[in-house]
Structure 1
C-alpha cells in the first residue's frame, strides 16, 4: 500500500482538490498495476503558524509523506524516475499554486502488512490480478500465489 499523508496549510485544498489529487496519484500506481484500493490518502491541515522550516514560520509549505509497502523501488534510476513522476503529478496542486513542498518515501517490508486480515498476494500472482480486478482484498489459495504465466503454462512448474 502506498499511504500518503499530506500535511498542508488550513484551507489549501477543497474537498474536490483532495479527490482530484488522490485520483491522479492512484492512477499512476494503478498503471504499475497494483490494486487501486492499496492507495490511501490522509490530508492533515496545519494551523497557521504551526509549520516551521529552518526555524522560521512557513504557512506556504506542503509535506507529502509516503509509506510504500506493496512495492519497493529497485535502484537509483527507477527511484529518481518515480520521484520525478510524482512531482509532475502533484505539480498542479503545489507548484502551480505557488506552494513550497517536499516528498519523502519510506519503504516498509511487504511481509509486515495485511489488509482485512489477508496477507497481500505476491506481485503479478493470480490472486493479485483478481484483487486488481475486484478492487478489494479477499482470501486466496496457495495456488493463487503463483505468477499468472505459470498458471497459463502449467508445464513450466514441472521443469
Structure 2
C-alpha cells in the first residue's frame, strides 16, 4: 500500500482539491508505475492549526509536509527512486508548488510481511490474485500457498 499523510495549514485545500490531489497520487501507482489496486492507495490529510508546524525552530504557516509509506512495492534501484521522486514532485506541483507553499516529502519502505488488508495477507506483486484485487478494487480472500 502506498500510504500518504499530508500535513497542511488549515484550509490549504478545499474538499475538491483533496480529491484532485488524491486522484493524482493514486494515478502514480495505478497508471504510471505499478498497476496496483486503487484501494491500496490511502491519502490522509491532516490540517494543522496556525503555529503548530515549525521549521528550523520557527513557525511556518505556509508549509506542507508529506510522509509516504511504500509497502506493496520496494524500490531497490537508485534510478527508480530518483524517477519516483521526480514524478511525485510533478503530481504535487499544481496544488503545492504552483500555489506558493513550502514543502517537503519523504518515502519510507515497509516490508510487505508487516502488512495486512482486512486481516488478509496481500497477494504477491503482479500475481493473478493481485490482478483480481485490482479488477475488483477490494481485497478478495484467497488461499495462501508456500
Whether TM-score is above 0.5 comes out as: yes
1:76 and 1:100 map into 2 onto residues whose CA distance is 26
Shift of 1:93: 1.0
Shift of 1:70: 0.6
Task: Work out whether 1:137 is the aligned partner of 2:142.
Answer: no
2:45 and 2:124 map into 1 onto residues whose CA distance is 29
Task: Work out whether 1:127 is the aligned partner of 2:129.
Answer: yes
1:142 and 1:129 map into 2 onto residues whose CA distance is 16
2:10 maps to 10
Of 32, 38, 55, which residue of structure 1 is paired with 2:40? 38
Structure whose CA Rg is larger: 1
Unaligned stretches of 5+ residues in structure 1: 146-159
Of 61, 64, 71, which residue of structure 1 is paired with 2:63? 61
1:71 and 1:102 map into 2 onto residues whose CA distance is 22
- Size of the alignment, in residue pairs? 144
For residue 120 of structure 1, give the secondary structure of its aligned residue in structure 2: coil
Greater relative CO, 1 or 2 (CA 8 Å, sep 6+): 2
Task: Work out whether 1:77 is the aligned partner of 2:76.
Answer: no
Please provide the CA RMSD for this pair. Answer: 1.2
1:103 maps to 105
Task: Work out whether 1:27 is the aligned partner of 2:27.
Answer: yes
1:68 and 1:48 map into 2 onto residues whose CA distance is 29
**Structure with greater proportional helix content:** 1
Alignment of structure 1 residues 84-99 onto 2, 5 Å: 84-99=86-101
1:108 and 1:85 map into 2 onto residues whose CA distance is 21
Shift of 1:116: 0.9
CA deviation profile, 1:121-140 (whole Å, cap 9, x unmatched): 00111100100100000111
Of 108, 113, 117, which residue of structure 1 is paired with 2:119? 117
